[in-house]
Each structure stands twice: as C-alpha cells, then as structure tokens.
A and B are shown apart, each in its own frame.
Chain A
Amino acid sequence: MKRQIPLALCFLFGVVMIFTQFSPHPVSKSIYERVISGALIIGPFALVLATITLIQTHINRIQRRTEHWGYSFVVFAGLITMVAIGVPFGPENPVFVWLYTNVQVPMDATMFSLLAFFIASAAYRAFRARSTEATLLLVTALIVMLGNVPVGDLIWNTILSWTGFENQASAARGWILDNPNLSARRGIILGVSLGVISQSIRIILGIERSYLGGGD
C-alpha cells in the first residue's frame, strides 16, 4: 500500500502519457489533455509545501538565534508583501508590478551581473594554457568573446586589414558556434536524451524507485 500503489500510479500515468501521444483518437486526446491539466493542478501544491518548508527553516533560525537570524525577518517581509498584494489583487495590480519592476528585476539582473567579476577570476584559473585541450578552450572562448562585440571586428579590421577580409572576428565566432560547437552540443544532447529515455523507462517499469524515498 505504501509503495505498491505509488509504483502502480507511476506506471499507469507513464504508460497513459506515452500511448495517448501516439493516438489521434478524440478519447485519447481528451485523456491526454485531462492528465496534463491534472498535473498542472497538482504542481502548485508542491510549491506551497516548498514555501512552508522555507518558512519553517527561517522560523527555526529565529528560534535558535543562529548566525544572521535577523535577516529571516527580511525574507518574511518580502514574501508576505508579495503574497498579501498579489494573491487578493492579482499580478496585474500596480503595486505588485511596481515591486516586481523596481525590486525583483534589478536585484535579479545585479545578482547575475555580479558573476561577471567572479567568472573573470575563474577564467584566469581555467584559461592557463597547460594542455592542448585547455588551449582549445582558451582560444575558442577568446574568439567567441571578441566576435560578440563590435570591438572584435574593429581589432581585426585595424590589425589584419592586409588579409583583404573584413569583420572576420564575428564571422569566426559564427562559424565556431554553427559547426564545432554545435556538433559537440548535438553529441551531448543525443547522449543525454538516450539517458533520459532509459531512465524514464526504468522509472515507469518500477526499476528505479529512489523517488519513493526510504522507509517502508
């Protein structure tokens, strides 16, 4: 009951989703759409549970007075403000949109832009051309970076204008992205896809059961 029924449900929903995609019959299509709607209904409950877990974690931090516990109130302030405005008045509410535009979006962009500084120090360590492979990585990254910005073509046109070719930095970047880069990506995608399919079959057939967790 505790393990067999979940395994049976997993098998049933997996098989239904596979077969309904191959059948154009209206009943099959209707089942397919119902299951998708059902999964979309179940999903938000998981988000609510995740939020409850986040709240519990921060309540624990406050109760135990762990390091930086005071900032947990800031998490609650942000969370409660967004939920208190957004849930009753909807995401189109001007105050909710204002908070999204002037608080969330700038912080999101700044957090990601912060990585520009750390990626520079990571690049210094990664790009030391110690081997052929590291050199390939270094040269490719440099060409792609220079080809991405107008200054790349400017450098080419200034220094290598005697070759008779113009704007070859961006052209080289385009060729690398469309040929060797794409072939490596395709190899990875094909490998990952085969892995996804085999793992999905294992899950549907009940061979892979780690998602059930421990216990009886």
Chain B
Amino acid sequence: MQLLGIWVAAFLTLCIYSFLYKDNPLYRFAEHLFVGISVGYGIVLSIHQGFLPLAWKPFWEAITFQDTSGFWVIIPIAFGLLFFARLSPRHTWLIRYPIAILIGYGSGIAIPNVLRANIFEQTRGTLEPFGKIARETVAANGNIIPPLTPFEIVGAILMVIGVVCTLTYFFFSVEHRGPIKGLSKVGIAFLMIGFGSAFGNTVMGRVALLIQRMDFLMFDWIASIGTIFSSIF
C-alpha cells in the first residue's frame, strides 16, 4: 500500500510538472482531480468536525429526550437550510437571512478583536522599546532584559518613522504636498522594503517546496523502483 502510494504521488507530481512544458491532458487530469479531492476533503471535515458534533449530536439528543437543552440548535439549522433557497429562483431572497446573520456575526466579532490584536497590540509593539532604552526590564518568565543597545535604539526609532510614514502614504484625506509628500515618499521606501522581504520569503518558500518534491521523486520514488526490481529478480 505504501509503495502504491509513492507511485500514485509520483505520477500526480509528474502530471503537474508536465505543465512546465505546456498545457496538456495529464496536467488537466491532475488539476481536476485536485479540485474534486480538495472539495471532498473539505466537505468531510466540515461535516465531521462542524455539523455532526455541533448540530446533529445535540439535535439528536434533544429529539430523543436525552438532553433537551440541545433544542436550540433547530434555530441555526433552520437558518442554515435557508441557504438552499438559492436553488429556487422564487425563494432565492431567503438566502439573505443566513448571510445577514453570518455577516453581522463576523462584523461584531471583528470590531473588538481587531481593535485589541491589530491596533492596540501593534501600537504597543511599536512604542514599547522606548520604555526599555535606559533601564532593565523583567520579562514574563522572570528573566532580566538589559537596556537597549545603541543599534536597537536606532531600530526602534526607525520602526516609528516607518509606521508613521507608511500610514501617511495611505492617508488620502489631505493632498500629498509639501512635508506630507516627503513623509509619504519615505513611506513608499519602507513599503518597497516590506514587499521585497515578502517576495524574497515567498520565493524561498516555493523553492523549499520544489526541493521537497524533487527530494521525493529522486529518493522515495526512484528508490521504490529498486525495491520493485529487487523483489522481482
């Protein structure tokens, strides 16, 4: 079974790499199989990790009077079923109900969390190093953190300049002229460094995956050919 798995994986890997030559039936076969398998996998996970434990189990326990507190799941199940109104042209407007609930829920949950995690925490992270310039601080694990070195102070100042200038670049309520234009130009420089870093990391991530696939083909797959030959002869 393991050997078959290696050969199936190698065949599909080569099918996808055949696209490097040109679009061809082998690539299209692998591409469509990938879509089908991925969607199937998503459905199975959402049923077994979402619907069954959260909806079906409490619902079943409620209707069999094992635990009547689960009756409330009928409400979200009913709203969820309204998604299928999309399939009937006359009743398609009913899909707005579950969508509105999910959008309202998402918006409501986003406001406090985004405020806390993205605004307060990021601002704190930007300004916090200035509290460590001249004195020792104690970390959460009790370790003593020494004051910042001159090099780290430069980094902290650069951080504030970068954040302010990047925000200025995205601030469209005033015309970018004079000092604002200067700040926004510095912001562009920081953004380019950020995009360059992201690009470099992405390239290296993709190359690491390529190396991993080549490693699989060269060592696992080719080694399995030797295993087959040695078992035959």
Contacts of B83 in A (CB 8 A): 42, 45-46, 48-49
Inter-chain contact B34/A107, CB cutoff 8 Å: yes
Inter-chain contact A123/B199, CB cutoff 8 Å: yes
- A166-216 residues at the B interface, CB under 8 angstroms: 175-194, 196-197, 199-201, 203-204, 211-213, 215-216
**CB contact between B100 and one of A7, A34, A80, A109 (< 8 Å): that residue:** A7
- A13-49 residues at the B interface, CB under 8 angstroms: 13-18, 21-22, 34-49
**CB contact between B105 and one of A13, A138, A139 (< 8 Å): that residue:** A13
Inter-chain contact A72/B32, CB cutoff 8 Å: yes
Contacts A6-B99, A106-B12; A189 near B46 (Cβ below 8 A): no
Residue in B20, B72, B110, B155 whose Cβ sees the most chain A Cβ within 10 Å: B110
The complex places the Cα of A191 from the Cα of B38 at a distance, in Å, of 34
Taking the closest CB of chain B, its distance from the CB of A4, in whole angstroms, is: 10
Question: Which residue of A has the minimal Cβ distance to B198?
Answer: A181
Inter-chain contact A13/B108, CB cutoff 8 Å: yes
The answer, yes or no, to whether B60 is at the interface (CB within 8 Å) is no
The complex places the Cα of A2 from the Cα of B95 at a distance, in Å, of 10
Interface size in chain A (residues, C-beta < 8 A): 125
The complex places the Cα of A22 from the Cα of B108 at a distance, in Å, of 12
Contacts of B122 in A (CB 8 A): 186, 189-190, 193
The answer, yes or no, to whether A159 is at the interface (CB within 8 Å) is no
The complex places the Cα of A192 from the Cα of B114 at a distance, in Å, of 10
The complex places the Cα of A82 from the Cα of B189 at a distance, in Å, of 48
Question: Which residue of B has the minimal Cβ distance to A84?
Answer: B40
Residue in B19, B50, B109, B122 whose Cβ sees the most chain A Cβ within 10 Å: B109
**CB contact between B112 and one of A13, A22, A132, A212 (< 8 Å): that residue:** A22
The answer, yes or no, to whether B145 is at the interface (CB within 8 Å) is no
Interface size in chain B (residues, C-beta < 8 A): 115
**Do most interface residues of chain B lie in helix, strand or loop, or is the interface mixed?**
helix
The answer, yes or no, to whether A102 is at the interface (CB within 8 Å) is yes
Inter-chain contact B36/A77, CB cutoff 8 Å: yes
Contacts of B41 in A (CB 8 A): 82, 86, 100, 104
Question: Which residue of B has the minimal Cβ distance to A86?
Answer: B44
Contacts A43-B102, A186-B125; A177 near B158 (Cβ below 8 A): no
Contacts of A104 in B (CB 8 A): 34, 37-38, 41
Inter-chain contact A187/B200, CB cutoff 8 Å: no
Contacts A113-B210, A183-B190; A203 near B104 (Cβ below 8 A): yes
The answer, yes or no, to whether B5 is at the interface (CB within 8 Å) is yes
Interface string of B121-147 (1 = CB under 8 A from A): 011011000000000000000000000
The complex places the Cα of A120 from the Cα of B204 at a distance, in Å, of 11
- Give 9 pairs: A residue, B residue, CB < 8 Å, sorted on A: A14-B105, A17-B105, A38-B76, A42-B76, A91-B44, A137-B196, A141-B196, A145-B204, A187-B187
Known: A40-B50, A75-B36, A136-B189. 12 other contacts (CB 8 A): A12-B104, A42-B76, A51-B43, A78-B39, A96-B44, A101-B5, A108-B34, A112-B209, A113-B213, A119-B202, A190-B122, A212-B100
Interface of B toward A, CB cutoff 8 Å? 1, 4-6, 8-9, 12-13, 16-17, 19-20, 28-51, 54-55, 72-73, 75-77, 79-81, 83-84, 86-87, 93, 96-115, 118-119, 122-123, 125-126, 155, 158-167, 169-170, 187-204, 206-207, 209-210, 212-213, 216
